[in-house]
């Protein structure tokens, strides 16, 4: 099956534009790895990681699943007045609930730190107080951005993300490199950048702002979004619970090593995030399109190609990347190198989570989103079991494989279920070729070429030839049409 060029190209175009903003904003931790890993020891990074994981978990509760329900109802609203009521109702209600929750967390920060048995309870309590402000700002700042996504206003969305990235990056450099502040600087920088972006976002979306809110809208939005709270919590726990298992069985220093190498793998997360941010509103707008199955099939094939290409390239060049030197600092400080082996595993886990996102269009089209709750819950239970079995024996590698196997299971079950309720003819012939060739190039480069006892320059050149041959073969076999990618990037 082929896909109409306009649809595949349009989604890729949105992903490229969204991706610029998202990749910049979400890549701060990746870009600043040399700064973080050279200024902070693993135990400090470990403590920050655990508190940040708590904030991500609480962040799902703060939003009450309203991100998804807001997108749905805002897109379906047919006039400015209705859109304004929905937007303002969400912002005002979340301002009230978020302030209350953050006040409680701030007040009981010491007890929370003791509950998690942080090695330094006082420092943990201090970070939790800062975290309570982070979650408050983060909850509010994302909704002007969601409005731009719902309107498919990709350029404004991107400009705001670039602005946020710039402020965040500069604040990190000033707090850490100039003022020599501690690991809390990462939180301070995020608070400042998110708050400024929220203020600018409110200014741009002022035509949608009104003091009139609808109690019935709030109730309807909360009811629809309710199930997404639990789904979000389950998915966050799948991604974050391994940190707490590592702390329980080992120490915060190992958590810090795990986090730093996990950050390396976020290059795949950035691709997935860019795709998801454009995919959700895009497929919601495809619901009434009679060709939506054909469109989704083509997008699925190109997603597999893009994800595996990034996996192969980053994995085989990883040794050269981590040893890059910036002003006397390695990209990843040597005290964190013991965890490098988890990077390909984590990248594959991110890739499978992206496939899961593509496949969840079917439950939305058939109004069976309740199934996503069951899939997320089953994934969490399997993940906890795998963490319990693998982490005590194999440490951070067990944590990485627990996440990979969990997302593998979830991708399989949602594929089977989606085909039952909304059958789509995927081009498995092309997909199998992409997977097979990706495996061959990865194994050759990662295990054989990188093991040669020759100059690193020659290793680099051989791996470049491998990647070029891989792309050329796929293009010649008409598995993927690289010219399409070139046209979209040139256009944007």
Q: Map residue 329 onto helix, strand or coil.
A: strand
Which positions ≥6 away from 377 have C-beta within 8 Å?
Answer: 230, 234
Burial zone of 183 (CB within 10 Å; 0-12 exposed, 13-18 middle, 19+ buried): buried
- Classify residue 443 by its DSSP letter: I
Structural domain count, the chain: 1
Question: CA of 422: how far to CAs of 8, 68, 325, 362, in Å?
Answer: 20, 21, 51, 6
Let me know: does 417 contact 379? Beta carbons within 8 Å.
no
pLDDT in tens, the chain (492 residues): 444 444 555 555 555 555 565 666 667 888 888 899 989 999 999 999 999 999 989 988 898 888 878 887 888 777 888 888 888 888 989 999 999 999 999 999 999 999 999 999 999 999 999 999 999 999 998 888 888 877 767 778 878 888 888 999 999 999 999 999 999 999 999 999 999 999 999 998 888 888 777 788 888 888 887 777 888 889 889 989 999 999 999 999 999 999 999 988 888 887 787 777 667 666 766 666 677 788 888 888 888 998 999 999 999 998 888 888 777 778 888 889 989 999 999 999 999 998 998 888 778 777 777 788 889 999 999 999 999 999 999 999 999 999 999 999 999 999 999 889 888 888 899 999 999 999 999 999 999 888 888 888 898 999 999 999 999 998 888 887 776 655 544 544
Which positions ≥6 away from 396 have C-beta within 8 Å?
Answer: 246, 254, 257, 258, 261, 339, 342
402-438: b (≥16 Cβ within 10 Å) or e: bbbbbbbbbbebbbebbeeebebebbeebbebbeebb
Q: Map residue 326 onto helix, strand or coil.
A: strand
Question: Which pLDDT belongs to residue 280?
Answer: 66
CB 455: neighbour CB atoms within 10 A? 9
Q: Which domain holds residue 149?
A: 5-491
Question: Which pLDDT belongs to residue 486?
Answer: 56
φ, ψ of residue 212 to 5 degrees: the values are: -85, 120
Question: Which pLDDT belongs to residue 67?
Answer: 83
Angle at 25 between CA 60 and CA 148, to 5 degrees: 70
Q: Which among 196, 188, 202 is positioned nearest to 163, based on CA atoms?
A: 196
Question: CA of 204: how far to CAs of 143, 163, 167, 195, 378, in Å?
Answer: 12, 14, 18, 14, 41
Spatial separation of the C-alpha atoms in residues 369 and 467, rounded to whole Å: 39
Sign of CA dihedral 136, 141, 143, 149: negative
Let me know: does 291 contact 7? Beta carbons within 8 Å.
yes
Spatial separation of the C-alpha atoms in residues 304 and 456, rounded to whole Å: 30
């Amino acid at each position: 099956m082929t896909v109409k060029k306009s649809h595949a190209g349009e989604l890729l175009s949105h992903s490229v534009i969204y991706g610029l903003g998202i990749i910049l904003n979400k890549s701060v931790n990746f870009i600043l790895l040399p700064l973080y890993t050279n200024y902070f020891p693993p135990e400090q990074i470990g403590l920050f990681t655990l508190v940040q994981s708590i904030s991500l978990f609480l962040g799902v509760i703060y939003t009450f699943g309203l991100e998804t329900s807001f997108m749905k109802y805002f897109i379906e609203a047919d006039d400015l007045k209705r859109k304004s009521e929905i937007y303002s109702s969400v912002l005002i209600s979340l301002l009230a609930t978020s302030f209350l929750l953050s006040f409680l967390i701030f007040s009981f920060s010491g007890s929370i730190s003791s509950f998690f048995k942080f090695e330094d309870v006082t420092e943990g309590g201090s970070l939790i107080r800062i975290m309570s402000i982070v979650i408050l700002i983060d909850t509010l700042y994302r909704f002007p951005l969601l409005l731009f996504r719902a309107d498919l206003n990709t350029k404004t969305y991107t400009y705001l993300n670039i602005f946020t990235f710039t402020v965040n990056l500069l604040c990190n450099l000033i707090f850490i490199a100039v003022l020599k502040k501690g690991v809390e600087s990462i939180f301070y920088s995020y608070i400042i950048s998110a708050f400024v972006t929220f203020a600018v976002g409110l200014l741009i979306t002022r035509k949608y702002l009104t003091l009139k809110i609808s109690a019935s809208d709030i109730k309807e939005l909360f009811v629809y979004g309710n199930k997404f709270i639990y789904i979000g919590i389950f998915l966050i726990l799948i991604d974050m619970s391994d940190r707490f298992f590592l702390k329980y069985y080992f120490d915060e220093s190992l958590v810090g090593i795990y986090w730093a190498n996990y950050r390396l793998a976020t290059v795949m997360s950035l691709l997935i995030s860019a795709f998801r941010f454009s995919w959700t509103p895009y497929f919601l707008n495809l619901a009434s399109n009679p060709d939506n199955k054909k469109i989704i099939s083509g997008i699925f094939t190109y997603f597999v190609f893009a994800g595996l290409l990034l996996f192969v390239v980053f994995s085989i060049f990883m040794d050269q990347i981590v040893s890059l030197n910036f002003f006397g600092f390695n990209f990843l400080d040597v005290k964190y190198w013991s965890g490098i082996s988890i990077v390909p595993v984590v990248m594959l886990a991110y890739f499978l989570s992206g496939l899961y996102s593509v496949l969840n269009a079917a439950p939305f089209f058939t109004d069976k989103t309740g199934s996503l709750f069951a899939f997320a819950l089953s994934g969490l239970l399997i993940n906890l079991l795998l963490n319990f079995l693998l982490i005590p024996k194999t440490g951070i590698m067990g944590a990485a494989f627990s996440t990979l196997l969990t997302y593998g299971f979830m991708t399989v079950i949602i594929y089977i279920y989606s085909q039952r309720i909304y059958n789509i003819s995927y081009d498995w012939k092309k997909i199998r070729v992409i997977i097979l060739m990706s495996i061959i190039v990865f194994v050759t480069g990662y295990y054989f070429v990188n093991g040669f006892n020759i100059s690193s320059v020659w290793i680099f050149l051989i791996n470049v030839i491998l990647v070029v041959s891989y792309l050329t073969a796929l293009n010649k076999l008409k598995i993927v049409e690289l010219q399409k990618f070139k046209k979209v990037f040139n256009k944007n």
